[in-house]
Amino acid sequence: MARKELNIFGISFLDLLSGALGAVLILFIIIPKITVEQQEAIEQLEQLHVQAGDLNDLLEQARNSIPITLYEQIEAQMEELQHTINGLNRHVQQMQARVTTLERENRRLQEELEEAQRQLEEARRELAQRQAQERNISEGKIFGTDAKLGVVCTWSENIDVDLYVKNLSTDEVCCYNHSHTPFGTLMEDVQSRRGADDNRYEVIYQKEIVPGKYLIYVNIYRKASLDHARSATVTGFVVLFPGSSRQQKIDFRQIYLTVPGQDVNVGTLEVTNTNIYLIP
């Protein structure tokens, strides 16, 4: 019998190869090709998986290489440290909040301080202006006399008001009918007003300081005309060293005069070489 020849490339095998080749062609056509960057990313991801696995292996080896009790102690210490760290973080947050509050408070206090300094500066300017005005007024009231002490009496009504200064050690009085004394001089006896702009005053002054105690009083002239006003509101002041840096000034209390010839006490004036004191 003749031997039959073996053919490895039978019809069935060829059909199988054709099907596999077609499947490969379909995959290349339908599925997009992977770029170089994507391929590198996949390789890096695979390496990370490998490194993660290696790290887990190292942790597992560490767990297995030391006694379980020691590992648990270390784990407990780590938990305690983590708890401490958490507490410190909370404390830091509280301190940061406190610092923020203090910074706001500091800004508020700084603003208040600046406002207080501004008000103080304004008060100083106002005080300087008032002092300058008082010096100017005092100097104007007795200007031209070179006086070192002046007792000034002012009123606005059209009536004859008289100013008196009595030396308590000698009982001598300086006034309209005795205008020159050893301790003082009356500048002018104002008997009436010449108009609304007449702002004259009476002043008894000392060109040189004469220390002592003096009684100051005022009245409406006892023979005042009934055609004039019957009352007067009197003010005034005592000034030492007028218009100078050493000026001292004391205002009178306001006095209301209604009865002619009735003396009204202003106060007792004590004069030294450097100071004045007025006792109502």
pLDDT value of residue 8: 46
In whole angstroms, how far apart are CA 197 and each of 157, 193, 200, 237?
Answer: 11, 9, 9, 21
pLDDT value of residue 88: 75
Do residues 249 and 238 make contact, with C-beta atoms less than 8 angstroms apart? Answer: yes
Q: Classify each residue of 219-251 as buried b or exposed e, where b means 16 or more C-beta atoms within 10 Å of its C-beta.
A: bbbeebeeebbeebebebbbbbbbbeeeebbee
Helical ranges in 195-272 per DSSP H: none
pLDDT value of residue 79: 77
Q: Where along the chain do its domains lie?
A: 41-141, 145-279
Could you give the CA distance from residue 15 to residue 23 in angstroms, rounded to a whole number? 12
pLDDT value of residue 59: 58
Where do we find the tokens 């007449």?
198
Phi and psi angles of residue 193, each rounded to the nearest 5 degrees, phi first: -100, 140
pLDDT value of residue 277: 97
Please name the residues in contact with 79: beta carbons below 8 A apart, sequence gap of 6 or more. Answer: none
Fold of 145-279: Lipoxygenase-1 (2.60.60)
Q: Measure the CA angle with vertex 97, ends 93 and 103; round to 5°.
A: 140
Low-confidence ranges of the chain (pLDDT < 50): 1, 3-4, 6-9, 226-227
In whole angstroms, how far apart are CA 27 and each of 23, 39, 125?
Answer: 6, 18, 97
pLDDT value of residue 109: 87
